[in-house]
Amino acid sequence: MKTLKRLLFFIAGVSLLVACSKSDGFFGHDSFGNDFKNGHNGPEVNKCRQNFNKGDVFKLSGLALYRTWEVRGGKVWQNASNPCEVNLEFLDKHNFLFTITETGKGTWTMSRGKIGDSGMLTFRFPTPLFTLPDGTGLNITDIISGHACATLWGEGINEGTLVFNGKFDGKKLTATAYFMAKVASPCPSNDMFDPALVKGNLWWTFGYNLTVD
């Protein structure tokens, strides 16, 4: 079982190396609240009102982005990108399925999300992300923690999964999950960077930069 878990950590860890708004910041917004019913107030947002319907499907491609840097000093420890393909299917006006496949890796994830009339959206990785043969659920936070020997917290972490916030205007989709980490050393499973050299806490982001094919 230890071998199987280590294999799953390795596969997932490697695969995860893991303009209608004035700002790309989504700090402080209710992930599933009124933002997605009414959109944000203001003339700039209203001019960018988006209309999607049940059955609308968008094929997108681009990059899955992974960046890690020190809170103090800003030293970058990871700045990686993996090509990916996404299928965005609308279940109704405000709800969608977001299926991600990292090109050449064969790994995929299906998430449910919400989008507002303004084009602002949110989605979460499923929990559990995997289920082991013995029935144990494995969350994305378990994978990150195991791969980096890290303790995770922050606005992008909720109930063992990552919460992405972003926007979609019918042509381009961007979304990011922000969180913090404290890594332990030694950590043989961390092949991204040497945790012994890290000074203090880390900022960590998972993100997507996609365009419609």
SS (H, E, C) 181-213: EEECCCCCCCCCCCHHHCCCCEEEEEEEEEEEC
| Measured distance CA(31)–CA(145) in Å, rounded | 24
Q: pLDDT tens-digit profile of 61-70?
A: 999 999 999 9
Confidence of residue 48 (pLDDT cuts 50, 70, 90): low
pLDDT on residue 108: 80
Cα within 13 Å of Cα(141), Cβ side: 21
The model's pLDDT over 60-118, given as tens digits with 9 standing for 90+, comes to 999 999 999 999 999 999 999 999 999 999 999 999 999 999 887 666 889 999 999 99
Residue type, 23: S
Is a pLDDT exceeding 60 seen at residue 20?
Answer: no
Greater confidence (102 vs 40) lies with: 102
Whole-prediction pTM? 0.77
Cβ(98)–Cβ(110) below 8 Å: yes
| Cα–Cα distance measured from residue 137 to residue 128, given in angstroms and rounded to the nearest whole number | 5
List the single range of 37-41, 135-139, 173-177, 184-188 with lowest mean pLDDT: 37-41
Q: What percent of the chain has pLDDT over 70?
A: 75
Across 21-42, average pLDDT: 33
Which residues touch 201 (CB under 8 Å, ≥6 apart)?
Answer: 70, 71, 72, 180, 181, 182
Does residue 10 have a pLDDT over 50? no
- Predicted local confidence at residue 134, as pLDDT: 93
DSSP letter at 128 equals: S
